[in-house]
Amino acid sequence: MTGYAVISSFGNYLPLKTLDITSFGAPDAWRISLYKRLGLRLQNTFTESSQSEFIIDIADIVRNSINAATIESSLLFLQYYLGFRFTNPEGVIDYLQKHRSLYDITLYACILTEEKFGSHAQISLEVYQDPEIDDHYLTIYVRQNEYEPDIIEKIDAVCKEYESAMTGEQGYILVTTDFHPPLV
């Protein structure tokens, strides 16, 4: 099986390589789920021959070559294909450069959130800065015009799926709502 991801910087696509995700062990089952979800997104967007240009070993990027352009490309993917909103993309890029091992976990959490809420919510990826202490982390906010009564249960279901991947990682990703209306 092959994992897919779009890596581009404003239309400049990089040649990528194939990843055999069957080599991941049980602790990385979430990563297999991420690659399958990315593949499903791409199969409806690109022809099979052009998909080969987007095949990527995300684990290799995390270890060796993740940079601002790679992160920016992923944010563009989230914005264009999933409808995500970014109030401070530079802050997100900076955070992920400092916490490179959260890169693919962040993509996974974002895709799970979009799958759970889709067009019924505005979803934004932001860096939360605690005003009282020196603490900041990535936050995926879910905002709705009219909040569903089970929004917290849905958020908890998303968190349950990705949080096991964060064991032992530096940094943090939170999916939550602030019960504010969607941003204009």
Does the pTM surpass 0.95? The reply is no
Please say whether the beta carbons of 181 and 146 come within 8 A. no
Q: Which residues of 85-109 are buried (b: 16+ CB within 10 A; e: fewer)?
A: bbeebebbbebbeebbbbbbbbbbb
How do residues 58-94 score in pLDDT, each as one tens digit? 444 444 556 778 788 878 877 887 788 888 889 998 9
Residue 42 pLDDT class (50, 70, 90 cuts) = low
